[in-house]
Amino acid sequence: MARRTVVIGGGAAGIGAAGAAKAAAPAAEVIVYTAFEDVGYSPCGIPYVHGREIPDFASLFLAEKQAYVDAGIDVRYETTVLGFDPAARTVQVEGQGEGPVEVGYDALVIATGFDYEPPGVPGEDLSGLYYVKNIRRAMEWDKILDSVRHAVVVEASPLGLEMVTALAHRGIDTHVVDPHPWALGELCDPDIVAPVQESWADMGVTMHWNTTLRGFAGDREGHVRAVATSDGELPAELVVVATHKVANTALAVAAGLRTGMTGGLVVDDHMRTSAPDVWAAGDVCEIPHGLGGLPLQGLTGSHAYAQGKVAGTNAAGGDRAYQPVYVPWGMVAGTWMIGGAALGEVTATALGVPHVVGKATGISRARYFPGVRPVTVKLLAEPRTLRLIGAQMVGGEGIKERADFLALAVRKGITLRDLASMENVYSPPIGALNEPIVTAAQAGVAT
């Protein structure tokens, strides 16, 4: 009988795991259970459809359903996993007209993802509160957006930034409410995010920083009509709740799997959980940071997919390891791109990590080339050795590539002296004579 790998969850981690399991053992049986109607799409693209930068939701799908059939991956849609028993190696499932049934497995991959942290205020049960996650619901919300005049985004998290920008693009009067003193307050430094906030102001967005959410007020039909905050009541027909991602561990915890200090499942470099023959990947688990080892939960889609590949390969009998993370990140917000890697000034200060800073502003192309935009790079380094420990950037273009490179530079122990003398591409349409990373490193060396 063929070895059977069961995957719970059809997001980036789940589909990555299923594909890798099939690739590692083509004769093996791979079953994916998902409670939803679809798998293998990019939920991260949803804000850009809402903002009309992408024409339709269809383009967010990685593949047609038939492609999974052709690949030999048995996807069970709209099927709920009620629980699993690591000792008996069974999952209990229900759906598609079938009552609860037990299904045996040889290997199990938990890829149940995240839930948004409940706001914890009155009025959470009102209609008109939008949790951006499922593509079918997003399609319904997109039609509703045509009639929305006032919207409030709760928390300027990464998703919150994208949704604020999308709603403003859509011409909706948008307010953002956040307990922090600036956008992305848990991750980003104030000087890096300041241009984003200025561009939001130009787009007509109203920002409420250091502001506490107190509740949602509804009308007689039970639909939200306003958001109560410490900065007053804000009218809204739509509220986008973009709170923290919390690991969806309910099934795993019920089965006795261990969680760590973030609430995510504890895993090792092979994505093995604390239970035999059970692996985990994506937002449901926590991964140690490469600097200091502090576990992190709720990373990006690319992290989830890569972890899924590792978990799936190992679940199918292969041998593949994941690495501690240095978290390159980036996004478009307002009219800017922002990004970074590892630590910023705020996070280094919060951890109490000593650091020196080198910062410089350059340009993205030759100064005479159409479309040239400023690029500000800030580098953080360990004071004695000048080893890079983090970076943050804001600019018109080229932020993602710099973030990826600088994350690897942190991982490999590159110093500001290395960066201060690094070579760079010069080509008028894509790069200026002076690379901003180099000038920022030179500034850091001079401190």
Partner 1 sequence: MISRWLRENAQQCLLRDAQARVARAHGTAPPPARGSFFWRRIFVPVYRLTPWPVRRRVLAAMPGSHRRHWPGPTTPAGPAV
Interacting residue ranges for partner 1, rule: CB under 8 A? 179-181, 185-186, 189-191, 209-210, 258-264, 266-269, 272, 285-288, 290, 292-295, 321, 323-324, 345-347, 349-354, 411-413
Note the maximum CA span of the chain: 69
Closest to partner 1 by CB, 201 or 261: 261
Q: Shortest distance, CB of residue 293 to partner 1, whole angstroms? A: 4
Closest to partner 1 by CB, 290 or 396: 290
Closest to partner 1 by CB, 190 or 396: 190
Closest to partner 1 by CB, 73 or 281: 281
Dihedral angle sign, alpha carbons of residues 60, 65, 67, 71: positive
Q: Which residues pair with 208 in a beta bridge?
A: 177
Contact 444, 355 (CB under 8 A): no
Q: Shortest distance, CB of residue 109 to partner 1, whole angstroms? A: 16
Q: Shortest distance, CB of residue 259 to partner 1, whole angstroms? A: 7
Count CA within 13 A, CB hemisphere, residue 408: 5
Closest to partner 1 by CB, 99 or 293: 293
Instruction: Please provide the distance, in angstroms rounded to a whole number, between the alpha carbons at the two ends of the chain.
Output: 66
Q: Shortest distance, CB of residue 351 to partner 1, whole angstroms? A: 7
Contact 146, 122 (CB under 8 A): no
> How far apart (Å, rounded) are the C-alpha atoms in residues 430 and 416?
24
Report, in angstroms and rounded to the nearest whole number, the Rg of the chain calculated over CA atoms: 23
Count CA within 13 A, CB hemisphere, residue 167: 32
Closest to partner 1 by CB, 59 or 212: 212
Closest to partner 1 by CB, 102 or 268: 268
Q: Shortest distance, CB of residue 349 to partner 1, whole angstroms? A: 4
> How far apart (Å, rounded) are the C-alpha atoms in residues 247 and 266?
11
Strand 232-235 relative to strand 224-229, pairing: antiparallel
Q: Shortest distance, CB of residue 288 to partner 1, whole angstroms? A: 4
The SS3 of residue 194 is helix
Q: Which residues have C-beta within 8 Å of that of residue 351, sequence separation ≥ 6?
A: 292, 294, 343
Q: Shortest distance, CB of residue 249 to partner 1, whole angstroms? A: 11
